[in-house]
Amino acid sequence: MLDVRLAEQVSRAYGLGTGARLVGPVATGRLGRIWQLTTDLGCYAVKDFVVPVSVEDAERDAGYQDAVRRAGVPMPPVVRARSGAVLCDVEGPVRVYGWVDVQPSERRLDPAAVGQVVAAVHRVAVESDGPVDGWYVDPVGRTGWEELVARLEAAGAPFAGRLADLLPEMLEVESLLAPPGDVRMCHRDLWADNLLRRPSGDLVVLDWENCGAADPAHELALVLFEFGCGDAVRMRALYDAYAAAGGPARLAGPGDLTMLVAQTHHIARTGCERWLAATTDEQRTDNADWVAELLDDPVTTRTVDLVLSVVG
């Protein structure tokens, strides 16, 4: 794993100059940690990983990022090593981006600005090289949820009762899941943690490592939920701005909310499994907070009806 003593090694591997200083981690996500590297040539974001990472996947997502950035989407540049590779082994795999200052995550960004940025991402049509991962399309299913709730109740999880109460609505909305139609490369993680405001007020899109095969309409529905905040006026402003900016996707029916439903349910399930596997109170609290994101703002058939009524 990365630490501050490895600053010069990272800088040499990527040709980033001298006087390297590594600070952090300045941010921690579910897949990795971000460190700030400063050298005589500038400031960079260095990411190391807490999960296995594939060289092939890193090269693929970097190529997509390059295409999207060339099209004008606001995002940090991918920095490649002297060898041309995206990943380098510095006591574990790391990758580097240009540094971008951002404000704290918030869902109530200007909806029109969000729509314009997402349209810019979707205007870049890049073919995907594989099927859509089940994380974005498959239900957890009745058996999976009921077995999980039973294990949580037996272990005394503080949120087990709330999850059990919500389960009928979760199963109802899972019945609406449908296969994607227009499959191409998408970001697939356009939550408020990754679409952020810069100090200047402009938006920037971060964290592209999960990009891959998806339907832009499914991703648009997720964005409408996340940044619409349950407000029909905000959703309509976002949708209209997206269309006016040349965004290609349109929502046609309940199946277009498949990514939103599947991803929120898989995130919650993962939080539950991690709570069960946790060995410290800190870990249990962290994962309970993760599950609470679903429980506090669940995606139900009422959500589906609201989104579809807004887009007409």
Residue ending a domain, choose from 44, 67, 98:
98
Tell me if 123 is assigned to some domain: yes
* pTM for the structure as a whole: 0.94
Residue 93 and residue 134 in one domain: no
Do 124 and 194 fall within a single domain? yes
Residues 89 and 166 reside in one and the same domain: no
Question: Domain for residue 16, yes or no?
Answer: yes
For 55-91, the pLDDT digits (tens) are 998 999 999 999 999 999 999 999 999 999 999 999 8
Domain count across the chain = 2
* Res. 30: pLDDT tops 80: no
- Would you state the pLDDT for residue 138? 97
Residue 251 structural domain: 111-311
Residue 212 has pLDDT above 90, yes or no: yes
pLDDT band at 6 (very low <50, low <70, confident <90, very high): confident
Cα–Cα distance list, 18 to 11, 39, 43, 180 (Å): 7, 6, 12, 48
State residue 65's pLDDT score.
97
Q: What are 102-116's pLDDT values in tens digits?
A: 999 999 999 999 999
Give the distance from CA 289 to its chain's centroid. 17
**Is residue 153 domain-shared with residue 237, that is, in the same domain?**
yes
Q: Looking at 38, 73, 98, which one is the last position of a domain?
A: 98
- Can you tell me the mean pLDDT for 143-168? 97
